[in-house]
Amino acid sequence: MTTATPAVSPPAALQAVAVSAGYRRRRRHPAVTVLRDVHLAARPGELITLIGPNGAGKSTLLRTLVGAQPPLAGHVLLDGRDLGGLSPRDRARRLAVVLTEPVDVGQMSVASVVALGRLPYRSWIGRDTGHDRAAVDRALVDAGVDWLRDRPLHDLSDGERQRVMVARALAQEPAVLVLDEPTAFLDVARRIELAAMLTRLTATTGAAIVLSTHDLGFALRRSDQVWLVGGDGAVTAGAPEDLAHSDAIARTFAGENMTFDDAAATIVVADETVPGATVRVVGEGRTRQWAEHAVRRAGWTPTEAGGGRVLRVEPGTPCRWRVDGPDAHGVGFDTLVSHLRGQAVPLPEDARTG
Separation between Cα atoms, residue 275 and residue 38, nearest integer Å: 46
Question: Could you tell me if 314 and 321 are in contact, meaning their C-beta atoms sit under 8 angstroms apart?
Answer: yes
Residue 8 maps to a domain: no
Same domain, 152 and 192: yes
Same domain, 78 and 127: yes
Same domain, 249 and 305: no
Question: Could you tell me if 234 and 36 are in contact, meaning their C-beta atoms sit under 8 angstroms apart?
Answer: yes
Q: Which of 261, 290, 315 is the last residue of a domain?
A: 261
Residue 224 maps to a domain: yes
Residue 273 maps to a domain: no
- Return the H-helix or E-strand segment holding 33: strand 32-42
Same domain, 138 and 21: yes
C-alpha torsion sign, points 277, 283, 289, 294: negative
Q: How far is CA 183 from the centre of its chain?
A: 8
pLDDT in the model for residue 90: 94
Residue 147 maps to a domain: yes
**What is the number of domains present in the chain?**
2
Separation between Cα atoms, residue 231 and residue 35, nearest integer Å: 9
Q: Which of 212, 228, 261 is the last residue of a domain?
A: 261
pLDDT in the model for residue 351: 42
Q: What is the mean pLDDT of each run of 10 residues along the chain (354 residues)?
A: 58 95 78 92 96 91 94 95 94 92 80 93 74 93 93 89 93 95 84 88 93 90 93 91 90 76 72 77 91 89 80 89 85 91 59 41
Same domain, 148 and 70: yes
The pTM score is 0.81
Same domain, 24 and 133: yes
Same domain, 154 and 212: yes
Tally the residues of the chain: 354
- Return the H-helix or E-strand segment holding 175: none
Same domain, 188 and 337: no
CATH of the domain at 324: 3.30.160
Residue 340 maps to a domain: yes
Question: Could you tell me if 321 and 315 are in contact, meaning their C-beta atoms sit under 8 angstroms apart?
Answer: no
Residue 56 maps to a domain: yes
CATH of the domain at 154: 3.40.50.300
Same domain, 208 and 317: no
Separation between Cα atoms, residue 136 and residue 312, nearest integer Å: 58
Residue 270 maps to a domain: no
Same domain, 301 and 178: no
pLDDT in the model for residue 30: 79
Residues with Cβ < 8 Å from 46, sequence gap 6 or more? 202, 208, 209, 224, 225
Burial letters for 21-38: b for 16+ Cβ neighbours within 10 Å, e otherwise?
bbeeeeeeeeeeebbbeb
Q: Which residues constitute the domain of residue 67? A: 14-261
Q: Which of 261, 288, 316 is the last residue of a domain?
A: 261
Residue 336 maps to a domain: yes
Let me know if 86 is exposed, middle or buried by CB neighbors in 10 A (0-12, 13-18, 19+): middle
Burial letters for 63-75: b for 16+ Cβ neighbours within 10 Å, e otherwise?
bbbbbeeebbebe
Same domain, 285 and 237: no
Same domain, 42 and 186: yes
